[in-house]
């Protein structure tokens, strides 16, 4: 979809385009209500600034729509399809990677009581695993900020991909 088409959508139609990028009501509303955008860069700047204001509760809410790393086929809908594409660097047939991701996901969930989220697009399984192991040592307050940053990157990449 082109930016001009996005600008011409009804608010409900525009919401349906933006929401799969990240399901945070205030962010989706701010991006939709900012229309019309003269340039994609303007839309992305607004989306980025609004994402920097996410609360920990909003981040936790948005995580409910994300599959675990290594489970890219979990879930349904546009967000799950996007996640599957983003996790292309994780070979689902590599037993060692699957085992290490499962163990890492379990350790992360036990430590932080939420799923491990990382921008997987453009990263190999080894990079994703190394980041997981590194982040397991984070303080919980630092980790929610890191998770929020990763979620912001994912949302902006998805939004740019949809509208360019």
DSSP-assigned letter for residue 136: T
Rounded Cα distance between 151 and 164, Å, is 20
Task: Please give the pLDDT value at position 82.
Answer: 58
Rounded Cα distance between 108 and 137, Å, is 10
Task: Please give the pLDDT value at position 149.
Answer: 97
Rounded Cα distance between 88 and 70, Å, is 10
Are the C-beta atoms of 74 and 61 separated by less than 8 Å? no
Task: Please give the pLDDT value at position 133.
Answer: 94
Model's pTM, two decimal places?
A: 0.86
User: pLDDT for 21-39, tens place per residue?
Assistant: 999 999 999 999 999 999 9
User: pLDDT for 41-97, tens place per residue?
Assistant: 999 999 999 999 999 999 999 998 788 887 755 455 555 555 555 655 566 667 888
**Cis amide bond preceding 36, omega within 30:** yes
User: pLDDT for 103-160, tens place per residue?
Assistant: 999 999 999 999 999 998 888 888 999 999 999 999 999 999 999 999 999 999 999 9
Domains and CATH numbers, the chain: 3-162 (1.10.3330.10)
| Distances 87 to 15, 101, 102, 103, 124 between C-alpha atoms, Å | 25, 12, 15, 18, 9
Sign of the CA dihedral with 73 first, then 76, 77, and 80 last? negative
Task: Please give the pLDDT value at position 135.
Answer: 97
């Amino acid at each position: 979809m082109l930016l001009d088409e996005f600008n011409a959508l009804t608010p409900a139609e525009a919401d349906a385009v933006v929401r799969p990028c990240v399901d945070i009501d205030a962010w989706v509303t701010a991006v939709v209500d900012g229309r019309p955008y003269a340039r994609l860069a303007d839309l992305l700047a607004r989306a980025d600034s609004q994402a920097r204001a996410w609360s920990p509760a909003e981040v936790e809410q948005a995580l409910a729509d994300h599959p675990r790393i290594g489970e890219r086929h979990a879930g349904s809908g546009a967000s799950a399809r996007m996640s599957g594409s983003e996790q292309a660097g994780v070979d689902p047939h590599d037993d060692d990677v699957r085992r290490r991701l499962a163990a890492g996901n379990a350790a992360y969930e036990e430590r932080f009581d939420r799923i491990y989220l990382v921008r997987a697009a453009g990263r190999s399984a080894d990079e994703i695993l190394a980041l997981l192991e590194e982040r397991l040592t984070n303080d919980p307050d630092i980790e929610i900020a890191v998770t929020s940053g990763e979620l912001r990157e994912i949302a902006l990449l998805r939004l740019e991909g949809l509208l360019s």
